[in-house]
Amino acid sequence: MKKQFILFALFISVLNFSQNLKKEILKITKDKNATVAVSVKGIDFPYEFNNENADKKLPMLSVFKFHIAAAVLNEVDHGKLKLDQKIPLKKSDLLENTHSPLRDKYPNANVELTVDEIIKYTVAQSDNNGCDILLRLIGGTQTVQKFMDSKGIKKFQIKYNEEWMHKGKEYLYPNYTTVKSLSLLYKSFFEKKILSEKSTAYLMNIMLGTTTGANKLKEQLPAGTAIAHKTGSSGKDGNLTIAENDSGIITLPDGKHYAITVFVIDSTESEAVNTKMISDISKKVWDYFNSTHKNK
């Protein structure tokens, strides 16, 4: 009877939080001209929240570099690639007018980089040239799609690389996922259902070192909080921000983990407003989980 009472109390607590979180998100997004999609999933504890936009197919932007890195590491797991394998960097690989710390460091190319180095540039620093080098290495976006399909990932599509995405906004929307699908993917990834134990730990470590999006999910969390995340941003197209995204796995002080995905889509708000919505939602979720786990 005592166990049943505890489970019932936990159910009521979770239900109340979900209802309160829905209200808090509505307050945060009130009068904002944007579509905001939110999904939260407990990884090693039971919890799930999805707002009314969580099942909409929305553009990922650079968030898709997580999926690309996972597909590359699958090749490593199967012995088709090695992390220390050298890849020649050519001048033609370094497109201008795109975010590329890799190009900034090696403007004249003519060097060799390891697969490991290129993955780190692509994921942690969201390098667009590195992204396309990896895609060429594994056979294009179709290889990523087939891999995700093989793992049962639903409502995910990747059709265009970064070079094509820079040709026009019509090439951004076909690279989509739902925030619900992505949070579930992060849970499966953490549980080592997507990659080997070694590759899972490797990619988690890179994501913990992400340098982009300091003003999004992690902004209001306590200093030193472990957040393995991947961001995405379209920048402005006139007055329109097609996507301002952040997603990943957050570790609570008690060692438990949760996945959180927040996409702000088709917004005419400023960058500051868009990122603040993500930051505020992240803080609300953190405060609840931290307080409930602390009181157990």
Enumerate residues 6+ apart whose C-beta is below 8 A from 189.
Answer: 70, 195, 200, 203, 249
Does 162 participate in catalysis according to the annotation?
A: yes
**For residues 111 and 83, what is the distance between their CA atoms, to the nearest angstrom?**
17
Helix (H, G, I), strand (E, B) or coil at 252: coil
Enumerate residues 6+ apart whose C-beta is below 8 A from 157.
Answer: 57, 145, 174, 175, 176, 177
| Bridge-based pairing state of the strands 86-89 and 227-233 | unpaired
8-state DSSP, 89: E
Does 62 participate in catalysis according to the annotation?
A: yes
**For residues 86 and 170, what is the distance between their CA atoms, to the nearest angstrom?**
35
Token pair 């001209």 in the structure block, residue: 33
**For residues 38 and 281, what is the distance between their CA atoms, to the nearest angstrom?**
8
Beta-strand runs (E) in the chain: 35-42, 48-50, 58-59, 86-89, 111-114, 176-177, 227-233, 236-237, 240-251, 257-267
**For residues 58 and 37, what is the distance between their CA atoms, to the nearest angstrom?**
9
Catalytic position from the list 24, 75, 162, 244: 162
Catalytic position from the list 39, 62, 100, 199: 62
8-state DSSP, 157: B
Distance of CA 180 to CAs 50, 207, 250, Å?
7, 20, 16
**For residues 8 and 261, what is the distance between their CA atoms, to the nearest angstrom?**
28
For the annotated catalytic residues, the residue numbers are 62, 162
